[in-house]
Amino acid sequence: MKNNEAPKKIYLKDYREPSYWIKKTTLDVQIYDGHTDVTATLLLERNANDESRKLSLDGDSLELRGLTLDGKKLDDTQYVLDAEHLTLENLSDQHELIIETRIYPETNTSLEGLYKSRLIYCTQCEAEGFRKITYYLDRPDVMSEFTTRITADKTRCPILLSNGNKIDEGECANDRHFAVWHDPHLKPAYLFALVAGELSLLEDRFTTCSGRDVLLQIWVEEKDLDKCAHAMDSLKRSMAWDEQRYGREYDLDIFMIVAVDDFNMGAMENKGLNIFNTSCVLAKKETTTDAEFQRVEGVVAHEYFHNWSGNRVTCRDWFQLSLKEGFTVFRDAQFSSDMGSATVKRVEDVLLLRAAQFAEDAGPMAHPVQPDAFIEISNFYTLTIYEKGAEVVRMLHTLLGETLFRKGSDLYFERHDGQAVTIDDFVRAMEEVSGRDLSQFKRWYKQAGTPELEVSSEYIEASEEYVLQFKQRCRPTVECKEKQPFVIPVDLSLLGDAGKLPLNLKDQLDPERSDNTRMVIELTEAEERFVFTGVKELPAPALLRGFSAPVKLRYRYTDEQLLRILKLEDDGFCRWDAAQQLMIREIDRIREALVADPSPAISPALVDALTAVLADDSLDPAMVSLMLTVPSEKYLNELGEQVEVEATHHARQLLERKLAKALAEPLLQCYELMRARQAAKPYSVVAADVAERALQNTALHLLSILGDEKSLALVQQQFAEADNMTDELAAFKALVHSTRSRFDSAKTDAIQRFYTKWQAEALVVNHWFSVQASSPAPDVLEQVKALMTHPAFDMKNPNKLRALIGAFCNNVTGFHNANGLGYAFLGDRIIELNRSNPQIAARLLTPLTKWRRYDEKRQEKMKAQLERIQSEPNLSKDVFEVVSKSLELS
């Protein structure tokens, strides 16, 4: 996009069906060293619902070399070609159009369309990348039958893959060979994929519920073949789970996963040929942390589940993106809960929502789960579409219950199989099976922003009544100033001194959804009041159990009430949240006290409560670990109106120090116990073992803060002895992030050793970058700049960019250093990346977009960088949209 051109905004309200359908798409792809020639044969059929006889095909960065309509070559007076379209007019009802284009995968650094990752040719077409391969109706409602012939050099590209089943292969002249793939399922172009290169294979099989035999293949570079077992196992479990839980069976004879190093996101659900970032496939204990093992499992499942929620039933247009993404994230979250610990998974999801999605909702890129306008769709693969979208589906599940929800999803899949549909179609299926009117519920899709739920209570001892008063409000966002009330399911219970109290509502609710001591009430009004009767003592209300709605809850809990919830509530999320709230309070107190006292005391009640948590054998060690984890700076900074960079950092650091000191003894015991348990058995990633390592390493982190000889020795010992990456990385981080001078030489030594040991493992080297980039050291920016010149760094590889630049920009004290140099550094990188990889540039920009939340001086400096980026010539649509929205007057 040139600076003086206004970029076009696309609106949901302007949706129109295409003028033509593409019944069949036959691709002939000739890969040569340096360029690739693509011949696309399109069988066109006029859309009877549309009068136009004009066909405007999308194209981007293509070299048109020939156009043949029904066997006749067209000259350039017979079509119109501009930078984004190839247009033909006065067409008939049916045509065969042959388009010849030349493309340059070797120099395609955008990682969209056909590109080369190291030695492997691969594609990424979602959302609008297919138009970088050939001219096409590159929109998800145009579904076509694809046949793809790939021809390439036999030695350089022995493996040739595309969607569907291989129907032919053979040799050609000049040491070349070909393969022909046919996909019997109609699909939009965004699900097209092609891979060519030298790849090694892990193979397995799966028998579906109806007895069909499916070949499973994972293709990777040979050196990584020993890291595929976990992904294969995850795939088989996903296939079985989707049959059991959703009645969805796989539909081709082969399912392939290919791993490549250069990939803009985690993975892509192309029909029958998923392409993955290596970071979401490869796993083995020496090189992979537990969190990464779980991510591999989750992403493999997510992409596999898309085969139904996304591929068989796809989106009509990109405004419906959350139809497939929100639903599929919900499905993968259910899967992960079933495979591991449901509470831990829930807490992790809430952490992400609160620290990042709520921030998105409060920032300039805020948009509804179903956006109504965009400039560049790539900017809308957001936490709102994915995570909030999943929360919305989760609320539907809560409101309908498992049985009706399943009926609704069955109806949705059956009714719309093979179609490109909308979010309304999904909700309609849920309405039909439940008989509920979900029109108000749909506001979750239409209104952006995080609702704030203020709750107050009153206990009337004389009448034994307990009143809960709810007020919801949602701040205005660009697309909607006056928000209408949301439907908010509030899962709650009341805790007395000795445990749960029976719940009796004055105005009876559906008894099926409430048992005696727990119920889900549904808020629908801006203000509502619920009266519980027969309440014999002043209770502590456990509100939003399981985080039943993505809202900001405000209730003035007393410390005593939080401690009671922490002790007595059976919902793990609420217990954890009570611990978090106690810590947040403590941090607030410290921040205030610090003005007069450099070392304020912390509340003994908190220490006692955490001591009890540590001593409680009945608790899952993973929960203990989470409860001992002080809220992140990122989350703390979300809580107030204005971010107080230094004050929050210091108060948080102080709380950690004081807790470490006060809990030193039980922490050490716990650390040793977990280590001993681990030492007594072989490594495994079952939830119970992951939990023990999590607690061991949380304890190690806190102990390392003590900074004494003993803790240094402990960390060094773990670093030296670890036989798995979870433990090794935890120790490495403890060394590198230590602010104690006693750790200095061990730190330098560890940085050296870690790199020397792992230099051949790209994914481990990414940890090496990100641990250093997230260090609290005052000279972290200098270190990051130095690391950019390290031979292992590569500006073209998104994983490396995220590991070094991304980690630094999320390092609150480093990036937001008052000198503003962090901002200028990011500005430089964005300007560079705007040219090579606009998608990644726009994404890395996120921390700068939040400039309005900082003090005046920082605001000025952040804004200056945004303005500098905005004034760049040839700004990509991606970066333009984010920068201009950030600078718009609010």
Partner touching 265 among ligand B3K, Zn ion, none, CB below 5 to 8 Å by kind? ligand B3K
Which tokens hold the place of 723? 């036989």
Contact residue for ligand B3K among 251, 261, 262, 269 (CB under 6 A):
269
434 near ligand B3K, judged by CB under 6 A: no
Amino acid at 515: D
**What's the closest the beta carbon of residue 344 comes to ligand B3K, in angstroms?**
23
Query: For ligand B3K, which residue has the nearest CB?
Result: 126
DSSP states of 209-254 as a string? TTS-EEEEEEEE-GGGGGG-HHHHHHHHHHHHHHHHHH-----SSE
Residue type, 392: V
Rounded (5°) CA angle 881-886-890: 120
The answer to whether residue 314 forms part of the interface with ligand B3K (CB under 6 A) is no
- 321-329, 449-457, 474-482, 803-811 -> range binding Zn ion (CB under 5 A): 321-329
Nearer residue to Zn ion within complex by CB, 302 or 693: 302
Evaluated on CA atoms 525, 526, 531, 535, the torsion sign reads positive
User: Which range of residues in 97-105, 328-336, 753-761, 873-881 is near Zn ion by CB under 5 A?
Assistant: 328-336
Select from 696, 781, 771 the least CA-distant residue to 738: 771
Task: Specify the residue, 353 or 622, whose C-beta has the smaller distance to Zn ion.
Answer: 353
Q: Name which of 322 and 493 has its Cβ closer to Zn ion.
A: 322
Where is 20: in which H helix or E strand? strand 20-31
CB 235 within 8 A of CB 219: no
Minimum separation from the CB atom of position 257 to Zn ion (A):
15
Least separation, in Å, of the C-beta of 389 and Zn ion?
10
Shortest Cβ 295–ligand B3K spacing (Å): 13
Q: How far apart are CA 51 and CA 90, in angstroms?
A: 11
Using CB under 6 A, which residues numbered 318 to 357 contact ligand B3K? Answer: 325
Only one of the segments 263-271, 334-342, 485-493, 643-651 lies at the binding site for ligand B3K (rule: CB under 6 A); that segment is 263-271
Catalytic residue among 112, 128, 292, 303: 303
Binding part of the chain for ligand B3K, among 176-184, 267-275, 400-408, 796-804 by CB under 6 A, reads: 267-275
Tokens of 294: 């779980």
Q: In angstroms, rounded to a whole number, what is the distance separating the alpha carbons of residues 887 and 890?
A: 8
Answer with the entry of ligand B3K, Zn ion, none that 800 interacts with (C-beta below 5 to 8 A by kind). none
Return the SS3 of 87: strand
Q: Establish how many alpha carbons lie within 13 A of residue 375's alpha carbon, considering only the half-sphere containing its beta carbon.
A: 19
Size of the site for ligand B3K (CB under 6 A): 12
Least distance between Zn ion and beta carbon 121 (Å):
23
Q: Which residue has the tokens 């700068």?
A: 848
Residue 570 Cβ vs ligand B3K, minimum distance, rounded to whole Å: 34
Segment interacting with Zn ion (CB under 5 A) among 324-332, 410-418, 505-513, 540-548: 324-332
In the numeric block, which tokens belong to residue 689? 């073992």
In sequence order, the β-bridge partners of residue 166 are: 181
Contact stretch for ligand B3K (CB under 6 A) within 260-268, 420-428, 441-449, 827-835: 260-268
Q: Shortest gap between Cβ of 127 and ligand B3K (angstroms)?
A: 5
Pairing of strands 452-460, 552-555: parallel
Greatest distance between any 2 Cα atoms in the chain:
95
What 3-state DSSP class applies to 66? Answer: strand
CB of 306 to Zn ion, least distance (A): 6
Nearer to ligand B3K, 25 or 274 (CB): 274
Let me know if 303 is a catalytic residue: yes
Q: Of 5-13, 229-237, 240-248, 325-333, which segment contacts Zn ion by CB under 5 A? A: 325-333
Closest approach, Cβ 767 to ligand B3K, in A, equals 23
DSSP element (H, E) containing 666: helix 664-679
Q: How far is the CB of 302 from Zn ion (least distance, A)?
A: 5
Query: Which of 124, 302, 284, 109 shows the shortest CA–CA distance to 801?
Result: 109
* Among the listed residues 62, 186, 196, 265, the single contact to ligand B3K using CB under 6 A: 265
CB nearer to ligand B3K: pick between 329 and 812: 329
CB of 112 to ligand B3K, least distance (A): 8
**Whole-angstrom Cα Rg for the chain:** 28
Contact window for Zn ion (CB under 5 A) among 222-230, 327-335, 745-753, 764-772: 327-335
- Residue 268 touching ligand B3K (CB under 6 A): yes
The DSSP secondary structure of 743-756, one letter per residue, reads GHHHHHHHHHHHHH
Phi and psi (nearest 5°) for 397? -60, -40
Q: Which does 378 bind (CB under 5 to 8 A by kind): Zn ion, ligand B3K, none?
A: ligand B3K
**Which listed option, ligand B3K, Zn ion, none, makes contact with residue 811 (CB within 5 to 8 Å by class)?**
none
Residues in 181-210 at the binding interface with ligand B3K, rule: CB under 6 A: none
Site string for ligand B3K, 362-391 (x = CB under 6 A): ----------------x--x----------
Contacted entry of ligand B3K, Zn ion, none for residue 192, CB cut-off 5 to 8 Å set by kind? none
Please give the residues from 278 up to 307 whose contact with ligand B3K meets the rule CB under 6 A: 302-303, 306
- Cβ 302 to ligand B3K, closest distance in Å? 5
Contact residue for ligand B3K among 1, 67, 127, 453 (CB under 6 A): 127
Q: Which residue spans within 245-341 are E strands per DSSP?
A: 254-260, 267-268, 273-277, 314-315
Could you say whether residue 138 binds ligand B3K (CB under 6 A)?
A: no
In the chain, the amino acid numbered 537 is E
Burial of 90: CB neighbours in 10 Å, binned 0-12, 13-18, 19+: exposed
Which entry of ligand B3K, Zn ion, none binds 633, CB below 5 to 8 A by partner kind?
none
126 is a site residue for ligand B3K (CB under 6 A) = yes
- CA 269 to CA 271: how far, in whole Å? 6
Residue closer to ligand B3K by CB (options 271, 767) is 271
| Minimum CB distance to Zn ion, residue 295 (Å) | 14
Residue 582 contact, options ligand B3K, Zn ion, none, Cβ 5-8 Å cut-off depending on partner type:
none
d(CA 594, CA 647): 9
- Please name which of 110, 28, 105 lies closest in space to residue 63, comparing C-alpha atoms: 105
How many angstroms separate the Cα of 61 from the Cα of each of 133, 383, 502? 9, 29, 66
* Residue 128 contacts ligand B3K per CB under 6 A: no
Strand residue runs (E) in 404-508: 420-421, 452-460, 465-473, 488-495
Residue 65 host element (H or E): strand 63-69
Residue 577 binds ligand B3K (CB under 6 A): no
Between residues 292 and 586, which has the closer beta carbon with respect to ligand B3K? 292
Rank residues 269 and 360 by Cβ distance to ligand B3K and give the closer one.
Answer: 269
# of chain residues touching Zn ion (CB under 5 A)? 2
Task: Decide whether 131 or 306 has the Cβ nearer to ligand B3K.
Answer: 306
454-463 CB contacts, 8 Å cutoff, 24+ apart: 454/554, 454/555, 455/541, 455/543, 455/553, 455/554, 455/555, 456/555, 456/556, 457/541, 457/555, 459/535, 459/538, 459/539, 461/538, 463/533
Q: How far is CA 807 from the centre of its chain?
A: 16
Residue 490 as a binder of ligand B3K (CB under 6 A): the answer is no
Q: Which does 333 bind (CB under 5 to 8 A by kind): Zn ion, ligand B3K, none?
A: none
Which residues contact Zn ion by CB under 5 A?
A: 325, 328
Which residues contact ligand B3K by CB under 6 A?
A: 126-127, 265, 267-269, 302-303, 306, 325, 378, 381
Residues with catalytic roles: 303
